[in-house]
Structure 1
Amino acid sequence: MKKILMLHGINHDMFGKRDPEQYGTITLEEIDGRLNELAKELGVEIESFQTNHEGEMCERVHQAFLENKDAVIINAGAWTHYSYGLRDALAILTVPIVEIHMSNIHAREEFRHHSVFAEIAQGQISGFGVESYLLGLRAAIAAIK
């Protein structure tokens, strides 16, 4: 069975509480539930990890490399726009990386338009709310094949 890692970045533990105009009212637990349902339906295993600490995120990426995960999906939140340390950790991976965002980062503040992960990601999905996660899972599976 293919194993995919879902990485949730900074402030994502506050989904459902923060800025509902951008992120809706769905919680991180509900997002993970939807991902688990779809993963089961598609015959893959998905593991989710969330942290507000950049070093912990980098360490989880290193662990994913050692565990031979088949793909990584990442919504790094604000780290997307400036975390070269996380970008370098992701670059260690030899599997597809799918970058996702609930909001359309290109329709928001100027600083959000640039992703430091873009050139190492297989692709980017943004602007579809929770559906970005589900599309990201489907994209990761397609990239594995």
Structure 2
Amino acid sequence: MKTFTPKPADLTHDWYVIDATDVVLGRLASQVAILLRGKNKATFAPHADSGNHVIIINAEKIALTGNKLGKELYSHSGRPGGLRRDSYAKLLENKPERIIMAAVKGMMPKNRLSKVQLGRLRIFAGDAHPHTPQQPQTFEISQVSQQAK
């Protein structure tokens, strides 16, 4: 049996749009990571870049479970004294894109290819996005938060 290796001509980058309204952060991040890597395609290979473009809208309406509103998101610039610490509650008001980006980045593999694939993720706080000419397909995440019901 021969091992399948996709050729560069076989690789397509589809566009998907996901509405994050009342979707739990972890469930959203895991589905987005699968789409960014291209694991939903039959031609998936871990070394080939067969990922998709993903647009997330309504990022400010995401559901955080447990006590995440009291916790903090840490990031470091790599410079001395560059530790940044922001609470999830303030980030949800000011910059909800950063919460989703950090969660998706944590679910991607730690290699050079994931940086390229993360570049295909676009997150918007509102419900409008400028990528309508690409005709993205809607991707439904059926399980929503229990608090939203």
TM-score under structure 2 length normalisation: 0.29
By relative contact order (CA 8 Å, sep 6+), the higher-ranking structure is 2
Higher Rg of the two aligned structures: 2
- Select the structure that is richer in helix: 1
